[in-house]
Amino acid sequence: MSNPMRDRYVQYRTNPDNDDKTDSYFCSSNGYALEDLKTLLRDDTVILKDILHARRNSYSGQMLKIDDAMFRAAMSGDTKAADLLYRRFDGWNPKIVEENNHFYNFTDIIKRAAKRSRPSGSVTKRAIPDGSD
DSSP bridge partners of 97: 104
Question: pTM to 2 decimals?
Answer: 0.51
Report the distance separating Cα 112 and Cα 14, nearest Å.
Answer: 49
- The angle, 0 to 180 degrees and rounded to 10, between the axes of the packed helices 47-75 and 79-90 is 140
Q: What percentage of the chain reaches a pLDDT higher than 90?
A: 40
Question: What is the domain partition of the chain in residue ranges?
Answer: 4-61
- Helix, strand, coil shares, percent, the chain, to 5: 65, 5, 30
More reliable by pLDDT, 49 or 106: 49
Phi, psi values for residue 36, rounded to 5°? -65, -40
Mean per-residue pLDDT, 79-97: 75
State the pLDDT at residue 100.
Answer: 47
Give the pLDDT of residue 60: 83
More confident residue, 37 or 82: 37
Residue 57 pLDDT exceeds 70: yes
